[in-house]
Amino acid sequence: MILRPLRNMDLSTLFLLLLSFSIPVSAFEDPFDCHFQVNNLKYDLNPLAGEHVVTRARETPPTREVDSVRISLCSDLERQKDVSDGDQCPSGTRVCLTKTNSKDGSDRIVSVVPIAQTSTLNPSYAPLSSAKGVSILMHGGSYSHPINTTTDVEQSVNITLLCAPDSDPSEPKFLSYDGVRLDLEWSSSAGCGFAAGEDEKNGESPGNGGSSGSGSLSSVGWFLLLLVVGFALYMGLGAYYNYSTYGASGIDLIPHREFFAEVPYMLRDVVSHLCSTVRPRRSSSHRGGYIAV
């Protein structure tokens, strides 16, 4: 019951092929899936998923100016069907600010600023110094500078995420926008990190709408799953091959049985090799026997 070398190669090729499936899985992963880690604390922003709108108004007689921010952190904002294309951010935007000017009851959108976009998101995180929580900086497109209108400036948003258990569902607060950076503050359980080893308890609760569920299995999880599935397939196919080719039964069904039978001896050899490289030094320096410590 010896598998021919060619057959061995076929099986290991199949095995490697199965493993390689884990690579595309990570390649297709969302660039920002609302999970990140800062200083051994993991965060899950899924309680903040879905679309949120926050506004601030300013009286500028004889008009009134309203800044409105649409936010969808875990996925791209959906297109607004009742708004013309020019009056909303391009697709692939996660945070969009629009300025509307109202006069005598008629509204006019005067600027549309893509504050954070998936393609240029490049998120960075920093723990808050003053309170429990984390700040998240995300980047977007360029927009005309409010003062020096001859230049475009990169837009960004700084979200101060405060740890507030039991406050979900919650809405963000508009702090400021200076034409370059938008500052938002958000109190949520999502701001309370959990230890990296601990199981995720946040975001698991049903009804936190918009959660994509993409974080349910990490790349490592997929890799391990495929490893197990691959091994099972290898065992199954190997057993079938042994059965159909050699009429093997019982323990002889195990593919490459000789190899697996060798494993304990190989381990023993490795261990004894490691021990023998350590021991001679000791025995040469204390040849006279052990010294009492």
Ligand X SMILES: *[C@@H]1O[C@H](CO)[C@@H](O)[C@H](O)[C@H]1NC(C)=O
Cβ atoms of residues 68 and 53 within 8 Å: yes
Between 126 and 232, name the residue whose CB sits nearer to ligand X: 126
Between 123 and 210, name the residue whose CB sits nearer to ligand X: 123
What's the closest the beta carbon of residue 162 comes to ligand X, in angstroms? 10
- In angstroms, the CA 187 to CA 190 distance is 8
- Binding stretches for ligand X (CB under 6 A): 126, 128, 135, 137, 148, 150-151, 158, 160
Between 158 and 214, name the residue whose CB sits nearer to ligand X: 158
The C-alpha angle with vertex 200 and arms to 199 and 206, in degrees rounded to 5, equals 135
What's the closest the beta carbon of residue 137 comes to ligand X, in angstroms? 4
What's the closest the beta carbon of residue 104 comes to ligand X, in angstroms? 35
Question: Residue 282: is it exposed, middle or buried by C-beta count within 10 angstroms (0-12/13-18/19+)?
Answer: exposed
**The dihedral sign for the CA sequence 30, 31, 32, 36:** positive
Between 149 and 276, name the residue whose CB sits nearer to ligand X: 149
Between 150 and 277, name the residue whose CB sits nearer to ligand X: 150
What's the closest the beta carbon of residue 154 comes to ligand X, in angstroms? 13
- In angstroms, the CA 22 to CA 273 distance is 35
- In angstroms, the CA 42 to CA 33 distance is 13
Cβ atoms of residues 214 and 30 within 8 Å: yes
What's the closest the beta carbon of residue 80 comes to ligand X, in angstroms? 28
64-81 exposure pattern, b = at least 16 Cβ within 10 A, e = fewer: eeebbbbbbbbbebeeee
Position of tokens 């904002």? 77
Between 149 and 285, name the residue whose CB sits nearer to ligand X: 149
What's the closest the beta carbon of residue 72 comes to ligand X, in angstroms? 20
Q: Which of 34, 18, 12 is nearest to 224 (CA)?
A: 18
Between 176 and 212, name the residue whose CB sits nearer to ligand X: 176
What's the closest the beta carbon of residue 109 comes to ligand X, in angstroms? 26
